[in-house]
């Protein structure tokens, strides 16, 4: 499986996920979120500031450097993808908050990712602003299926239920397939990661889980 099929699979995963969420969302849900904006601001601050800062502290404290440290910091600072909202859907979480946070992080990431990349102990070039058009395109690709799903839920609820069942199954299958493929194709590289690298992954994951359970 080359890069083109992988890219197509990720795009289909994003679209099917957003369509699934759209058929489960209502305008009333976003109205409730607007009455408590502190939840959105707090969640964005944790993702853009707290988690990347912890990542920088860990890679420096554990003596990591080079591409590994750079990758960990970038992963911590990168905007959340559609898989987060898909998992929130399955967990019966706050979907309006999840969708709004996803959009906010995509925009904030245009500044956060290059800024935090400079804090990584690596001489590689920081990410520039060339990805702006791609981020905007991805936002549009998310908004269209979400809006379509919400329109179906409001106007054709029976059809929305049928569409949701299909799009949810497609999203779940694609998520599992892409995860297995990525793990299979990168398995040999895992042996090159030092123990401190795995420790950083675990500690950073615990920080994220502690935030979400708090």
Phi-psi region of 81 (alpha: psi -120 to 50; beta: other; left: phi over 0): beta
pLDDT digits (tens, 9 = 90+) for 110-162: 778 888 888 877 665 455 555 566 667 777 777 888 889 989 988 999 999 99
Question: Does the model's pTM come out above 0.85?
Answer: no
User: Domains of the chain by range and CATH?
Assistant: 3-213 (1.20.1530.20)
Q: Is the pLDDT of residue 26 over 60?
A: yes
**Nearest of 67, 75, 72 to residue 47 by alpha carbon:** 75
**Nearest of 96, 101, 97 to residue 79 by alpha carbon:** 101
Q: What is the pLDDT of residue 151?
A: 93
pLDDT digits (tens, 9 = 90+) for 54-89: 999 998 888 888 888 888 888 888 766 667 777 777
Q: What is the pLDDT of residue 132?
A: 61
Q: What is the pLDDT of residue 100?
A: 79
Mean pLDDT (the chain, rounded): 80
Q: What is the pLDDT of residue 62?
A: 86
Predicted confidence band at 179 (pLDDT cuts at 50, 70, 90)? Answer: confident
Q: What is the pLDDT of residue 131?
A: 55
> Which segment of 47-51, 187-191, 208-212 scores lowest on mean pLDDT?
208-212
Q: What is the pLDDT of residue 162?
A: 94
């Amino acid at each position: 499986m080359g890069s083109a099929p992988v890219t197509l699979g990720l795009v289909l995963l994003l679209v099917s996920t957003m369509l699934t969420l759209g058929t489960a969302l209502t305008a009333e849900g976003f109205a409730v979120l607007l009455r408590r904006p502190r939840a959105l601001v707090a969640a964005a601050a944790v993702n853009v500031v707290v988690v990347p800062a912890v990542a920088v502290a860990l890679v420096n404290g554990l003596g990591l450097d080079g591409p590994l440290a750079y990758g960990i910091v970038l992963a911590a600072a990168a905007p959340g993808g559609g898989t987060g909202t898909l998992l929130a859907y399955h967990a019966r979480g706050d979907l309006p908050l999840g969708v709004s946070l996803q959009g906010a992080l995509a925009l904030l990431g245009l500044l956060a990712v290059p800024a935090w990349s400079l804090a990584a102990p690596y001489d590689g070039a920081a990410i520039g602003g060339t990805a702006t058009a791609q981020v905007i395109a991805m936002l549009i690709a998310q908004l269209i299926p979400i809006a379509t799903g919400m329109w179906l839920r409001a106007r054709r609820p029976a059809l929305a239920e049928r569409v949701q069942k299909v799009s949810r199954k497609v999203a779940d299958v694609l998520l599992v397939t892409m995860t297995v493929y990525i793990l299979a194709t990168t398995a040999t590289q895992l042996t090159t990661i030092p123990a401190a690298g795995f420790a950083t992954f675990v500690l950073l994951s615990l920080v994220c889980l502690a935030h979400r359970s708090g």
